[in-house]
Amino acid sequence: MRNNRGPGPRGGRGSGAGRAGSDGGLTGRGLKTRVKTAAKRSSSSTWWLERQLNDPYVAEAKKRGYRSRAAFKLLQLDEKYHFLKPGGRVVDLGAAPGGWTQVAVDRVQSAAGEKENRRGKVIGIDLLAVDPIPGAEIIQLDFMDESAPDKLKAMLGGEADVVLSDMAASSTGHAQTDHLKIIGLAEAALQFAREVLAPGGTFIAKVLAGGATNDLLAPLKRDFATVRHVKPEASRKESAEIYVVAQGFRG
């Protein structure tokens, strides 16, 4: 089971891209690039490569130093719902390769050099190794390991203002099975969020559109003042992913 956000550029800048232009928009689009199918390359891999080369968010992520295009999903969610604030305490579940973590570090100002009274805290976890990000503390461990929640709580050292989950299990190719697997991860993330969120806190989790989503909505509506289904502009149109944004944790 993978708790990461899929392949993405691993290097890049070690911390979040600078605050100048740290919004979720695009600075421009280039000309469309076409890739010829090589003898040793399948048509599906050619399609993937061509999509990457022509994806404006991939180009923008490289320009700004984000480790993945997924950073723009979190930027766009925060621009709309304003949950990442200076001094905030954030837990990032499924942190690899680090795009969401970079955004969180920048927005809550958890890196060294920030004003002490406004410095936030960002911790993360992923089954895969994540290159260090200044301002964040990340452990390599499966979130579904029974020891993971207690280790995260010890790292957090108190309550959290935001719990993020962009976790996704490896695809089986069977839509209903994949849907149920990601709902299971979201439910586990919600249980953890209940244990660490401060009153008024925010919980965000990726799910796939499907019937079992209703099983997740019932406890969310009980525990949070507002619950929304959102598909950020940066989420690919062909993807079934949506995000539940729950705010106003009742404690």
- Cβ pair 197, 91 in contact under 8 A: no
pLDDT of residue 56: 84
pLDDT of residue 214: 79
Any binding-site annotation on 47? Answer: no
Residue whose C-alpha is closest to residue 103's, from 200, 240, 209, 232: 232
pLDDT at 6: 42
- Respond yes or no: is residue 206 known to be catalytic: yes
CA dihedral 57, 59, 62, 64 (to 10 degrees): -60
Q: Decide if 95 contacts 70 (C-beta within 8 A).
A: no
d(CA 132, CA 163): 20
Cα separation, 76 vs 23, whole angstroms:
7
Averaged pLDDT score across all residues of the chain? 84
Predicted local confidence at residue 251, as pLDDT: 87
Residue 78 and residue 100 in contact, taking contact as beta carbons nearer than 8 Å: no
The answer to whether 98 and 137 have CB atoms below 8 angstroms apart is no
Residue 134: which of 119, 148, 149 has the closest Cα?
119
Check whether 234 has a pLDDT greater than 60. yes
pLDDT in tens, 188-218: 999 999 999 999 999 999 998 776 677 889 9
pLDDT of residue 179: 83
Average pLDDT over residues 236-243: 88
Reading the block at residue 16, the tokens are 């979040």
Is 166 marked as a binding-site residue?
Answer: yes
142 is in an annotated binding site: yes
Region of poorest pLDDT, from 22-31, 168-177, 215-224: 22-31
Residue 78 phi, psi (nearest 5): -70, -35
pLDDT per residue as tens digits for the range 90-143: 999 999 999 999 999 999 999 977 666 679 999 999 999 999 999 999 999 999
Q: Coil, strand, or helix at residue 230?
A: strand
The active-site residue out of 73, 206, 221, 231 is 206
CATH of segment(s) 67-249:
3.40.50.150
Q: Which two tokens stand for residue 98?
A: 């680090």
Terminal Cα-to-Cα distance of the chain (whole angstroms): 31
| Residue 126 in marked binding region | yes
pLDDT-derived band at 11 (thresholds 50, 70, 90) equals very low
Collapsed DSSP state (helix, strand, coil) of residue 102:
helix
Q: What is the largest CA-CA distance in the chain?
A: 59
Q: What is the mean pLDDT of residues 31-57?
A: 55
- Average the pLDDT over each of 49-63, 111-125, 201-215, 228-242 and give the range with the smallest value: 49-63
d(CA 31, CA 54): 8
Res. 170 pLDDT band, cuts 50 70 90: confident
CA distance linking residue 75 with residue 176, whole number of Å: 29
Count other Cβ atoms within 10 Å, centred on residue 15: 20
Instruction: Say if residue 161 carries a ligand binding annotation.
Output: no
CATH 3.40.50.150-classified regions of the chain: 67-249
Q: What is the pLDDT of residue 42?
A: 54
Position 40 scores a pLDDT of 54
Closest by CA to 65, choosing from 106, 17, 107, is 17
* pTM score of the predicted model: 0.81
